[in-house]
Amino acid sequence: MKKTIVIGCDHAGFKMKNFLIEKLREEGYTVEDKGTYSEESVDAGEFAVKVCEDVAANLDTKYGILICGTGIGMSMMANKVAGIRASLVSDLFSAQMTRAHNNANVLCMGARIIAEAMAWEFTKVWLSTEHLGGKYAKRVQAMMDYEQNRK
């Protein structure tokens, strides 16, 4: 069963978000669009939180995708939400490894850094890569333990 994709962006990522929504739906994914809904300037953090709080509350059934100009602001804010492992990617190898090794549950990309076609390629690789488990599961658990215990 495919996970639901929760997607959000700021104004810079608006066009790419709409492109990815169309592609994801063509591939049979259920997509929940958390905004923004225009190219009017907005604070990226607001949309990162909307997406990531939803994903964090539904870890077994949802993944997130966030897009802003560089992907940096989105990834930084996303990782403030407990339970989220967001990764900024700009190449295919990183898209694969962030799932295989780090079990990332949110993919972040920069619309001013990569073309829409490449964003789709990264998304396909990211969604099709399974977490390897084993020693990598221990490393992911160490991240989550630190997050839980630092409060």
β 62-68/86-88 pair status: unpaired
| Residue 10 burial (10 A CB sphere; 0-12, 13-18, 19+) | buried
Q: Are 73 and 91 in contact (CB under 8 A)?
A: no
pLDDT digits (tens, 9 = 90+) for 3-50: 999 999 999 999 999 999 999 999 999 999 999 999 999 999 999 999
Confidence grade of residue 151 (pLDDT, cut at 50, 70, 90): low
* Calpha distance 71→113 (Å, rounded): 8
Q: Which of 103, 116, 104 is nearest to 15 (CA)?
A: 116
Angle at 5 between CA 63 and CA 127, to 5 degrees: 65
Angle, CA 130 vertex, CA 92 and CA 81 arms, to 5°: 85
Among residues 52, 101, 108, 131, the one annotated as catalytic is 101
The reply to whether 131 belongs to the active site is: no
* Residues contacting residue 146 through CB under 8 Å, at least 6 positions apart: none
Q: Which of 9, 11, 52, 68 is catalytic?
A: 68
| C-alpha span between 132 and 140 (Å, rounded) | 11
pLDDT for res 52: 98
* pLDDT tens-place string over residues 61-87: 999 999 999 999 999 999 999 999 999
Asked if 68 is an active-site residue, the reply is: yes
R_g over Cα of the chain: 14
**Section 90-113 average pLDDT:** 97
